[in-house]
């Protein structure tokens, strides 16, 4: 279906539209067709931060974190501005690699670039620290977030579960419920 949509885009003459191509890259990534996404990315004469983020996220989706990080570094070298979504994707790649040092570098870059410390970055930081077996830093990030949405709470609960702390996870679920939020599934 996605390839048919892509063919239709070409047929209609929209193949050079950065927004449409970025949406196609995102679609291919979410469908685990990252090679198609990368091919389209390489053919694009103009790209923006959203385009780069879509491709980095595609590699994260297909569990190719090394490629995602290489692309993230290339993006930085080409002067593409960092966004919360780009930082989040890079942090997820660091979590997949279980590389806390690399995650700390990504976090430092985001702070230096002035990327807003929001629920998108916060939940990814919590997850990255938890997957790297550093719940102390996950707790610091969680406590430092003023606005906590379901993703933030769920990332923290999943972190406790991942680190064999079921009692702490259950306590947090009760706190979450008391705050009026309902837990959801987090990988």
User: Are 106 and 39 part of one and the same domain?
Assistant: yes
Q: 24 and 82: one domain?
A: yes
Q: Which of 99, 116, 133 lies at the terminal end of a domain, its last residue?
A: 116
Judged by average pLDDT, the poorest of 14-23, 46-55, 100-109, 122-131 is 14-23
* pLDDT range class, residue 91, cuts 50, 70, 90: very high
Distance from chain centroid for Cα 10: 29
Specify the number of domains making up the chain: 2
Domain shared by 129 and 69, yes or no: no
At residue 18 the predicted structure's pLDDT band, cuts being 50, 70 and 90, is confident
Range of the domain at 11: 1-116
Where a domain ends, among 83, 116, 149? 116
Please say which residue of 76, 92, 116 terminates a domain.
116
Question: Residue 7: its pLDDT value, please?
Answer: 47
5 pLDDT higher than 70: no
Note whether 159 and 100 are same-domain residues: no
Q: Are residues 112 and 160 in the same domain?
A: no
Question: Is the Cβ–Cβ distance between 135 and 159 less than 8 Å?
Answer: yes
Rounded to 5°, the CA angle 111-159-32 comes to 80
Per-residue pLDDT for 187 more than 60? no
Question: CA-based angle 26:113:82, to the nearest 5?
Answer: 10
User: What mean pLDDT comes out for the span 165-174?
Assistant: 94
Element (H, E) at 58: helix 49-61
Task: Tokens for 154, please give them.
Answer: 């769920």
For residue 31, which of 53, 10, 3 has the smallest C-alpha distance? 3
Q: Give 68-90 pLDDT, tens digit per residue.
A: 999 999 999 999 999 999 999 99
């Amino acid at each position: 279906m996605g390839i048919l949509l892509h063919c239709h885009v070409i047929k209609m003459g929209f193949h050079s539209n950065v927004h449409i191509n970025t949406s196609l890259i995102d679609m291919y990534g979410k469908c685990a067709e990252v090679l198609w996404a990368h091919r389209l990315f390489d053919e694009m004469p103009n790209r923006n931060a959203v385009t780069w983020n879509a491709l980095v996220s595609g590699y994260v989706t297909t569990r190719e974190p090394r490629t995602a990080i290489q692309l993230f570094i290339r993006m930085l070298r080409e002067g593409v501005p960092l966004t919360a979504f780009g930082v989040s994707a890079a942090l997820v790649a660091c979590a997949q690699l279980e590389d806390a040092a690399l995650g700390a570098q990504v976090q430092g870059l985001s702070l230096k670039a002035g990327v807003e410390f929001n629920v998108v970055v916060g939940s990814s930081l919590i997850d990255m620290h938890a997957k790297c077996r550093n719940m102390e830093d996950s707790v610091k990030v969680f406590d430092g977030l003023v606005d906590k949405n379901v993703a933030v709470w769920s990332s923290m609960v999943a972190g406790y579960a991942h680190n064999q702390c079921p009692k702490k996870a259950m306590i947090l679920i009760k706190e979450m419920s008391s705050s009026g939020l309902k837990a959801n599934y987090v990988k």
